[in-house]
Structure 1
Amino acid sequence: MLNFTGNTRRKRQVNLSGKPTSAPSQSVIAAARESRAQRESERQKNAAAIRIQSAFRAYRSRKLCCSSWRVAWDKSVGFSPLSRGESSPLGADALAHLLLFYTPTDPTDLERLFFVIAALHPDDPGNTTIDIALQSGGRILSLLKRLSQKTVLTLSKLSATLTDTSTRTQILLYLFYISRVAAHLPQLADASYFAVLRSIIQHGFLQYAVQQNTTSRAPTDARAALAVLQAIVLPLQSTESTIKSSVYSHFAQDFLSTPYLNLSLFPIISVAVFRKLLDLRNLMQAASTIQLNSPEQDGAPWLLSSLISLGLSPDLALSSADLALEQAITSHPLYQPANVDDSPNSTASFGPFVTAVSRILDAYSADAARPTSSAIELPSSRSSHNNRMNGKGDANESDSLPIFIQEQLDQLLGTRFVQYLADLVLADPRSPAASQDLQYARNAAQSLSLHLLVSFRFLRQKLHNRLFLARSSDGISLLPALFSQVQRTQQFQSGLTGTRDILNGLKARSSSAEWTAIFLFLDVYSFGNVVMDDEEFFSFQDKALSPGQLRLLVAFLKNLAFTTYFEVSEIESDSSQEGSRFTASITADRIRTETRSNVGGVNGVSLPWIRSLIVRILRSLHRRDSRNPFLPTGFWLMKEVNVENSTSLIAEEEARQQNLEDMNEAEDSDSDEEYDFQPASAGRHGSSSKKQEKAIRHNYLASITPRLEVLQNLPFFIPFKTRVSIFRDFVRLDQIARGTTDPELWRLSNMSHPLEHQGRKAKHHGVIRRERVFEDAYDEFFPLGEGFKEPIQITFVDSFGAEEAGIDGGGILKEFLSSIVQESYRKDPTHGVPFFAETEDHLLYPNPSLVDQVSWGLRQQSMLDYQDSQALVSHEIMELLKRFEFLGRIIGKCMYEGILVDVRFADFFLLKWSKVLVGNGDVGLGVDDLKSFDYSLWKGLQALKRYDDRTIRDLDLTFTAENVFRFEDPLSPSGSSQKAMTVDLKPNGSQISVTSSNRLEYIHLLSRYKLITQGKAQTSAFLKGLSSVIAPRWLSMFNQSELQTLVGGNESPLDIEDLRKNTIYGGVYVLGDDHKEHPTIAMFWRVMKRLKEDDKRAVLKFVTSVSRAPLLGFGSLNPRFSIRDAGNDSTRLPSTSTCVNLLKLPRYESEGALEEKLLYAANAGAGFDLS
């Protein structure tokens, strides 16, 4: 119908029928895409079918063709399965024909191969058929070469089927053949050649030959050994140096790395035979050039052991069988003896050997230190793991290594080899006679020594001892000479000037030789510092460094330590590390799970290892400097470690570290079972060891909490007063976290939540009788445990049962703690024996005989049977140790509250406080610390070191120690008796006499027993109580003398002006608006200024109960020093309330009267509540 409206636009149509009739465009596109995919799939299927059909047709065609060739070949040469060994050598055409169809997996082809090779008589040295054919060259040479390659391939297939006698017969003949061909064409002795020999040996070819014969070295056995030996030795006879080096490289890398050659090869063919037949110099030179890449690194310890066995084993007489083997090889027409003048053990052969062993260790260390690797050890058992967790890992590590590897590594510690190492380590490449080879050999010797110390823990002590005692051929001691060499290195020189150059050196690889020398010296010196006593150290002779050298060493180590703590991310993010998983933008999460293992370009060296080494040396040197200063005052401080204005940062680090440690403890407890039951098949690339995880964890802590790590490990870098301020901040933050900053608010909080804190106020309140301060305090507060650091309330009761007056504002707490210290540090109220013993200088330490003393006395008095008596003794000892724990809490509470107490502890005992974080009882105590324990004993042991043999015999000493103590004895007129107990210092020590050869061991064991073992239970209980109040990492900020200052105050002269500025006045003595002092107060300060130091301290103790000033000055005294008037009676003595540090001073009319009365009262000991 036509539209005549003039509108050309079509009329809109509205369809109400529902679903559209035409498909949308998207559906059409999807359908087209699916159709196209189906067509493509069909096309690919057709193409694949064609390829499969083609391959099958080709295979079928080859099979048919080869079958026809086999039939034709058999007819042409007259082969049949019964014709083995009956033919003459075949011509070139027959060989070429055989090589066309030969397949190692075809049993009949194996018969044909044996038929062909048997016709050549390769096992007959006098038959020169093969030699003539190979020397003629041309086509026959190529065919015999291809035949040898086919034979090698066949051997690889047959090596797993040695149970069959005929197979072993074939292998025997094939070995003779390939060895003769390889003797002419040594390039055939490649990786596959020695891999086949390795497989044959590993599958027990020689052992089968032995088992086949009832008599040792029977003919078959000898032929098998000869075949293997010939296959190894003849290819190594090339006269062309390049080819010879290549063959020796393959021999070392692909054969000598075979595990357990000591079981599969050397019992049949002794090492001595190989040493006589091989060119050891070429072998070592080739071994030093091989590249060990995974998985070859798994065989590195075996390669290392094989090289040591060949290079260092003593020359022993050969057995008749070995002589026969040697004669058979040396008489072979193709054998050429090595053209060397020196014997295997000569000095000239040591150079290549050291280089080779060093190179292998260096390559292996790069892999062994990765997070996915363990040390060079086999999977250990559950007991080995537990031993390592208990600190016995070094002793048991050798249990996880095969005996052969242990024995060969032990050869490296031989006197002659260590002597040569010392000569090489100390070689001077600047001398006119020196060459580049000498410098390379010196670097290799230093690298070898370092890698042995780093990679093999069970060798460390013995190797440390050998290197420490080593001298060069000129009689020069290794340690000082090595340090002189280290001094000349560029890294050491630049390290003295600042930390930036050290950082650059640690990140780069170019200075690896210098860092190797530095690390080697530091490792050996750390051992030497433990071995040397003060007498030897301060002699500055022989093995000891001079004062100037010590000053340089400490300066360098300070900068190195700073770098390893504050530049962790920079060092770990080194982008030059090959194959590294680190990048320049390394994150903290990456450091948390991995650590770089080639710091300074030295493989196997990590930041945690370097830090541990530095800390051990610096702490040891600082302890010696504290006993006998050899460095200038203030030399230990390091201005770069600026924490003066970083207290808040350190506090944050401390909280972060605590949270991280809590998380790690939870993870450790969750993963212990999984770790303990790790399957033995996990191997050295299994999960990381606990020790490595701990090192990585400490590395991560150092990266996020560097200041705190320095405070805990190297606190002497920071001024003592700064550390005391940090300590007080730690306490303050702990109080904030516990909500105990304000004691009154804390008590109100407990009262406002009676259900939540039911009985808490009662637990923190104690009624203390004056005559039983310690026992009442123990009964009232021991159950609190860690809660003892919270605010406590004390009510004193006098001898009449009346409660004493007192202000509970901290003063009564001070009086309470001081009273406990005065009472309990004198004797045990229960048993009447002293808790603490005194040194000759009247310094206290836990009574080491107390447990023996109490237990012996109880047994003597008990009328019970044995079992009941043992139960009684055990109960009493446990109660005694609980009291020691409580005493530790008392000292911890004093330190926590900032209350000084008048008690002085022995240095060796205080040293254990700062090492409580270590978790063991050793803490590095030695014979030098015995001086502070028992000077007479120390002096006697020093004399023992100088006695001759006759004098020592006259002393009749044995490896025992004697404990003498007194116990209550009602039968004795004096009421007590003396008992002496003898303790063995080592198993059967009473049967071992002390001689000049073992006297150093005796001195060490006796010192260890006196300082560590004896009284260990008492000391551990005390430290347990101390650490429940004061966090162990807080204590690690201080050494022993600083801890004494923290407990008892400053020993320096009293600053009266400081005391005057921080004194509070009461009563008529309060300062007026004009700030003028009362005349009596003015007289008091004039008197105090002119008093002698002892009198000043007596007055201070009279008022505060302590004769020393607070660590941070009198401004930190809590409560403040106060003076209040006590009337105008000039005949009255001054009195004090020591609980609040209050002096009650009458208004005297003259300075003379004031001084007389003040000193009389102070020396009379007037104190608490005496008014």
Structure 2
Amino acid sequence: MYPTFSGSAKSRRQVNLSGRNNNPFASYGSSKPAATTQPASSAVAHAQQERILRENERRRPPAAARIQRTWRGHKSRCSSNRIWRQYWDEQEAWGTAGVQQGPYATEAEALQQLRLLAQFASSKLEQDTQRICHFAHRYLSTASSNLIHPTDAWIYPSSRLAKAVYRTSRTASFGSLPSKAVAELVDLLAMLASISAPFLATYSEDYYQTINLAVKHCPAVKPFRRAVTALLDHAGQANNAAYLGFGSVYLTQAVLPGFDQDLVDLVGSIDYAPLVGAVDHWVAAQTNQQLLKFNDSEDRLLWLLSRLIFIHQNTKRKHDTTETRDSNYVNVISRLISVLSREIGQRLDTIDRRLSSGSEAITGGPRPSASKRLPAFVQKQLLSLINQASISSLLAKLQAENTSSDSANEAHKASAEASALASYVLTLLRVFPQRKGDIQMWLYRGSVNRTLPATKYFYQAANSTSVFRSIQDAPTNAIRFLASEKPGLPSGLDKNGSTARDRDRTEEDWRIILLFLELCTFAFQVMDDEEFLSGSSKPLPHASQTRQSALPLSDIENLTTFLKNLAFAMYYYATDIAGKPANVNRHSLAAYFGKDELRQTLFNEAEERLEEQDVGGVNGMTVDYVKGLVVGVLRMIYQRDSRRKFLPKDHWLMTKYFEMDRFISAVVEEEEHGRQVEESYDALEDQTEGSARVDNDTDSEAEDLALIVGTQRTRNLRHSERLKSQQRKASKRKYLESVTPRLKILENMPFFIPFHTRVEIFRQFVNLDQFHRRETDDADEWRYRMMNSVTGNISKHRATVRREQIFDDAYKQFYDLNEGLKEPIQIRFVDQFGTVEEGIDGGGVTKEFLTSITNEAFGATNGLESLFIENDQHLLFPNPSAVEERKETLRQSMLTEGSPDWNETIRDLLRRYEFLGRIVGKCLYEGILIDIHFAPFFLLKWALTGGSGSASKESGYRANLNDLRDLDESLYQGLLQLKNYPGDVETDFSLNFAVTDTLDLSPTQTKTITRELRPGGENIPVTNGNCLFYIASIAKYRLQLQPERQTSAFLRGLGTIISPSWLSMFNQSELQTLIGGSGAEVSIADLRKNTQYGGIYVIGDDGMEHPSIQLFWKVMESLDMADVAKVLKFVTSTPRAPLLGFGNLTPRFSIRDSGSDQTRLPSTSTCVNLLKLPIYRDEKVLKDRLLYSINAGAGFNLS
């Protein structure tokens, strides 16, 4: 049976509560619409509406009762006020001709009138304003007669009347009062405050706002002086609340009522400690946006900042506060400067940024107009922060307190104060970058009389932080300390689940770490290698400060581990830190480079990421800033380890965090992706800007001209366009960082990856670039296509050069090619008799051309001027005096400086440097080795032209004392003596902050010129206190500033052929290996395996080598490495093997026969790496002839 059968055949009634007709055919075929039905949702809504109506009916009677009660109360108060007002008027004879004007007869009468007036006075009634003024007049007269001795009964009515005065000052009737009445109101307010200050302190902001409003209507000074200090003097335990209004309202005004012309008296009338404590509490409670809004157009925050600086400095002069902790002051000053840093930087018009009296200035944009410049007082106080005494004393005090702190609580407090000092100094470094060297030196020398140097002190503080220890363990731990906060989480938690207290502690840790790294950048610049490596041993009692500041090598190893992990995380986990997925995960690669809409989307999304989060909550310390700082210090240590190994083998490698089996292919993919993004952004920028697009890499000479020519509006427009272009480039850079992490690591920390892997990547990049440019790997095929192309112009890639003037002829014919020099070129040589040397260029003539032109240019042969000069080790670097020598020669030729001929001559010199850079780049691009050796400090500038913290004009290079050794050994030794001199430097050396250059105008004529290392340097003596800064200034001038134009031109040319990001994958020694080959022992087996044979030496079908070839390899195996290198130089023009083996030698090493005369010597054609070997039959004869040839120093002519 069916389980649903109930025994009854009668159908069950169905109840449909939904209001919907369940019959699907009910309305079929009918012309009338179906009957209106009510869905279930309508029924629910109807029920809800009825419920709301019932609830309203229930609430209406209580609401009506409350309204009635409120109205009765209001009516009763109005009635009472009317009665009190009437009674008060009767006592004062108000509104009659006999109104009372004199003092009150008794204290009781004054108190009674005060109570009545405080009860009924309303700011909405103008008559009540007049009554308050009348009472003020009589009350002040009474008080002057010493009839009033306030008791507790006066406190409440006094506070009520003071509040009535607050409200009255904001009405329109207040502005119509005579100045005398306003002065009496201010005096009344001061007396009321002296009576009820503890109660009025809560309303201190209203109190000082009333004073600020009153001063606009009253020129008197005396009443305002009393009013300003009255609340502060009598607030008692509520002084913090009183000082809150004093700081946040009174001190923020451009004109201080009562004390504008005498701030020193104001300092003597207030209490410094509660003031900075209250302001610190107020500032900490505000967000950055709130503070910027508070600053508004009246510069209120700037005035507060400057007044606090003035009060702090004058208080310290007036009282001995060496035992007073300044953490509150440091906190509030660093926070305010950090928030206002952009505005201060734009409006500050103070520091002369010129290096010397020359015409070249470093400017960040147009000078601010007079209306936008900072007020003189504000500017003066801000500049007073850049003071050695303030920074050094804060550090000394901090160390003294830290030394005396025994308990854990005191240690934590000392750590918090160290963090506050760190925030203060970091903010100064960011806002005043021109004085960065001074600030770092003052901090470095701040502990000169202490047992613990600043470097070691801050390392200990940094090493003890949880941030340092956690990141030192693993790179992934850095993500949670760097990641931005995620909105929408429960109050008090961030996306990592950290509480507000955890975030505060993390912020303190980061401040200490970042200040330590800033300190390292200065310390490592002035510390020589001997001092750096001696940190593990205890210094002598009278050792130099740099020696005492050296960290033990074990600490250096821990520091580098921390820096490696942190730097790796910031690049490799960039998207996790930013908290946003990379666009590459949301769109296909083709979408980026298809329609304009998607390209615009890419641009807009990258623009959104341009607003960076602060690292660890430290205001202003963005991820980009920290990247530059961390990578800079990491590179400085790596460079020392490259010179003298002191860290364990493979310490720098981070290969365990990569999939090395596919690392090369992944990097090449990222490079291709980056190239497509570059093209996409360039196309979008062309659409956005059109003809207004600004090139930020123009010559400094053109920049200077732009600052001179044109109106202020023109310069401002140019500056605005430059800023827009910089913003677009920054957005592009940030996007590339998120989608090309391996590539960015290679550019900034190449030492994370083995050298040979990077060389393979470099060659892959070159091959990829060649394919994109030529669409083929064969040079002859490219030439054929160009000759048959309508737009092709192969003639530009051909040149005829005279052997005795190769550089000049090539410069004239190839300079205009620019990056077209990457393509295959064809050279025809003309000998000394004017005869064209015929031949087919299969790559060999190009090689001979490149080796010949580099030998001529770097050797300054054939009467060429010295573009490059040698140091004591015969290593090359750009002639630092070349531009100045050329200028002086032009002056002697009576040319006017700045004339067209003058400018063209200087440009021609710089173009020659640029062309020489292209030639070296061409050698690297084609894989042709040249026997040229550059100075390490010059090669280091190549390595630093790429990466996030660098630019095409070597701005990433940090000059230091050790690099001077590669420039001038005698100068290096002299500066070492100065640095370690125990006596009086000023008296014994008589140096100043100026340097003398000697210009060689001819073999018999020289001239000396003097340049200042800082403004007014000739009048600034070098002392024991500033000698470190002098050393750093000398190093920067000699290594960076003096050769800047020559070096920039060379690197610009080099970067035209070889991308700066490719160069940044190598350090200075590795770059030298790329240029000239590996200095390792030559593998005879590898050379033999990759040798090609010609003539009768060709290997036949039997696979056997010719007997003479067998003798040749037997002789080669018997030679020592020095002779093998000579053989290589004899054949290939360079004594070293290619980095990736002889399989990568271009053209291949080749041997062919040259007759059977046993007396004939071997000869070569170095242009094609060809050895012409006679058919020798005796091993001894072959060896003697070969050694004679390679030691004779000739090749082709020995044939």
Give the direction of change, closer, same or farther, for the CA distance of 1:302–1:1023 in structure 2 (3 Å limit).
same
The one of 831, 840, 844 equivalent to 2:872 is 840
- After the TM superposition, which residues 351-366 of structure 1 pair with which residues of structure 2 at under 5 Å, given as runs? 353-355=326-328, 357-358=330-331, 361-362=334-335
- After the TM superposition, which residues 420-569 of structure 1 pair with which residues of structure 2 at under 5 Å, given as runs? 420-424=394-398, 433-434=406-407, 436=409, 439-454=412-427, 456-458=430-432, 460-471=436-447, 475-507=451-483, 509=503, 511-540=506-535, 541-569=547-575
More off after superposition, 286-295 vs 406-415: 406-415
1:182 matches 2:196 = yes
Equivalent position of 1:289 in the other structure: 281
Equivalent position of 2:342 in the other structure: 375
The one of 79, 89, 94 equivalent to 2:94 is 79
Number of corresponding residues: 1037
Say whether the 8 Å CA contact 1:1135–1:1161 is kept in structure 2.
yes
Give the direction of change, closer, same or farther, for the CA distance of 1:401–1:915 in structure 2 (3 Å limit).
farther
Q: Distance in 1 between matches of 2:616 and 2:389?
A: 30
Q: Distance in 1 between matches of 2:613 and 2:794?
A: 55
Say whether the 8 Å CA contact 1:1136–1:1142 is kept in structure 2.
yes
Give the direction of change, closer, same or farther, for the CA distance of 1:869–1:189 in structure 2 (3 Å limit).
closer
What SS class does the counterpart of residue 451 from structure 2 fall into?
Answer: coil
Q: Distance in 2 between matches of 1:1069 and 1:364?
A: 79
The one of 882, 892, 902 equivalent to 2:921 is 892
Shift in Å at residue 809 of structure 1? 1.9
1:227 matches 2:227 = yes
Shift in Å at residue 550 of structure 1? 0.7
Equivalent position of 1:823 in the other structure: 856
1:709 matches 2:728 = no
Q: Distance in 1 between matches of 2:568 and 2:388?
A: 38
Equivalent position of 1:329 in the other structure: none
Give the direction of change, closer, same or farther, for the CA distance of 1:400–1:1089 in structure 2 (3 Å limit).
farther
Give the direction of change, closer, same or farther, for the CA distance of 1:528–1:735 in structure 2 (3 Å limit).
same
Shift in Å at residue 226 of structure 1? 2.0
What SS class does the counterpart of residue 1151 from structure 2 fall into?
Answer: strand
Q: Letter of the aligned partner of 2:1181 in structure 1?
A: A
Q: Distance in 2 between matches of 1:778 and 1:1108?
A: 28
Say whether the 8 Å CA contact 2:964–2:1035 is kept in structure 1.
yes
Q: Distance in 1 between matches of 2:438 and 2:764?
A: 46
Equivalent position of 1:328 in the other structure: none
Equivalent position of 2:209 in the other structure: 195
- Runs (5+) with no aligned partner, structure 1: 1-11, 15-19, 26-53, 210-220, 318-343, 576-585, 682-686, 969-975
Q: Distance in 1 between matches of 2:313 and 2:1019?
A: 38
Say whether the 8 Å CA contact 2:402–2:414 is kept in structure 1.
no
Equivalent position of 1:1125 in the other structure: 1153
Equivalent position of 1:615 in the other structure: 631
Equivalent position of 2:1118 in the other structure: 1090
Shift in Å at residue 763 of structure 1? 1.3
More off after superposition, 590-599 vs 484-493: 590-599
Give the direction of change, closer, same or farther, for the CA distance of 1:697–1:164 in structure 2 (3 Å limit).
farther
Q: Distance in 2 between matches of 1:833 and 1:562?
A: 46
Equivalent position of 1:237 in the other structure: 236
- After the TM superposition, which residues 58-73 of structure 1 pair with which residues of structure 2 at under 5 Å, given as runs? none
Say whether the 8 Å CA contact 2:482–2:616 is kept in structure 1.
yes
Q: Letter of the aligned partner of 1:505 in structure 2?
A: F
- After the TM superposition, which residues 454-853 of structure 1 pair with which residues of structure 2 at under 5 Å, given as runs? 454=427, 456-458=430-432, 460-471=436-447, 475-507=451-483, 509=503, 511-540=506-535, 541-573=547-579, 589=605, 592-639=608-655, 640=657, 642=660, 643-656=663-676, 658-659=678-679, 662=682, 670=692, 698-739=733-774, 741-754=777-790, 756-757=791-792, 760-827=793-860, 829=862, 832-851=864-883, 853=885
Shift in Å at residue 920 of structure 1? 4.5
Give the direction of change, closer, same or farther, for the CA distance of 1:571–1:1072 in structure 2 (3 Å limit).
same
Equivalent position of 2:49 in the other structure: none
Say whether the 8 Å CA contact 1:161–1:167 is kept in structure 2.
no
Q: Distance in 1 between matches of 2:930 and 2:468?
A: 46
More off after superposition, 353-362 vs 921-930: 353-362
CA displacement, residues 382-434 of structure 1 (integer Å, 9 cap, x when unaligned): 999999998555999997586436526735856377434444368659x8842
What SS class does the counterpart of residue 837 from structure 1 fall into?
Answer: strand
Equivalent position of 2:135 in the other structure: 116
Shift in Å at residue 1103 of structure 1? 1.4
Q: Distance in 1 between matches of 2:267 and 2:1022?
A: 46
Give the direction of change, closer, same or farther, for the CA distance of 1:450–1:695 in structure 2 (3 Å limit).
farther
The one of 150, 159, 172 equivalent to 2:164 is 150
Q: Letter of the aligned partner of 2:506 in structure 1?
A: S
Shift in Å at residue 1042 of structure 1? 1.9
Equivalent position of 2:314 in the other structure: 313
More off after superposition, 412-421 vs 932-941: 412-421
Q: Letter of the aligned partner of 1:790 in structure 2?
A: E
Shift in Å at residue 1106 of structure 1? 1.4
More off after superposition, 1110-1119 vs 944-953: 944-953
Equivalent position of 2:1010 in the other structure: 983
Q: Distance in 1 between matches of 2:979 and 2:316?
A: 39
Say whether the 8 Å CA contact 1:825–1:835 is kept in structure 2.
yes
Equivalent position of 2:494 in the other structure: none
Q: Distance in 2 between matches of 1:648 and 1:472?
A: 51
Q: Letter of the aligned partner of 1:815 in structure 2?
A: E
Say whether the 8 Å CA contact 1:889–1:1028 is kept in structure 2.
yes
Q: Distance in 2 between matches of 1:978 and 1:63?
A: 102
CA displacement, residues 740-778 of structure 1 (integer Å, 9 cap, x when unaligned): 643223222222233x23xx1111111223333222222
More off after superposition, 114-123 vs 1082-1091: 114-123
Q: Letter of the aligned partner of 2:378 in structure 1?
A: F
Equivalent position of 1:942 in the other structure: 976
1:930 matches 2:964 = yes
Give the direction of change, closer, same or farther, for the CA distance of 1:1044–1:155 in structure 2 (3 Å limit).
same
Say whether the 8 Å CA contact 2:750–2:1066 is kept in structure 1.
yes
What SS class does the counterpart of residue 549 from structure 2 fall into?
Answer: coil
Say whether the 8 Å CA contact 1:653–1:708 is kept in structure 2.
no
Equivalent position of 2:393 in the other structure: 419
The one of 912, 928, 932 equivalent to 2:941 is 912
CA displacement, residues 1117-1171 of structure 1 (integer Å, 9 cap, x when unaligned): 1111122233433332222222221222222112212111222222334435875
Q: Distance in 2 between matches of 1:423 and 1:702?
A: 42
Q: Letter of the aligned partner of 1:925 in structure 2?
A: A
Give the direction of change, closer, same or farther, for the CA distance of 1:386–1:876 in structure 2 (3 Å limit).
closer
Say whether the 8 Å CA contact 1:1127–1:1146 is kept in structure 2.
yes
- After the TM superposition, which residues 982-1061 of structure 1 pair with which residues of structure 2 at under 5 Å, given as runs? 982-986=1009-1013, 999-1000=1027-1028, 1002-1061=1030-1089
Q: Letter of the aligned partner of 2:963 in structure 1?
A: D
CA displacement, residues 964-1010 of structure 1 (integer Å, 9 cap, x when unaligned): 46555xxxxxxx52323233335676677766666555544444443
Shift in Å at residue 268 of structure 1? 4.8
Give the direction of change, closer, same or farther, for the CA distance of 1:564–1:1082 in structure 2 (3 Å limit).
same
Q: Distance in 1 between matches of 2:849 and 2:773?
A: 23
Q: Distance in 2 between matches of 1:553 and 1:512?
A: 19
Q: Distance in 1 between matches of 2:1196 and 2:779?
A: 23
Q: Distance in 2 between matches of 1:158 and 1:524?
A: 57
- Runs (5+) with no aligned partner, structure 2: 1-28, 37-67, 484-497, 536-546, 582-601, 697-706, 717-721
Give the direction of change, closer, same or farther, for the CA distance of 1:715–1:1156 in structure 2 (3 Å limit).
same
Q: Distance in 1 between matches of 2:224 and 2:1194?
A: 101
What SS class does the counterpart of residue 295 from structure 1 fall into?
Answer: helix
TM-score, L = length of structure 2: 0.76
Q: Letter of the aligned partner of 2:787 in structure 1?
A: M
Identity percentage over the alignment? 34
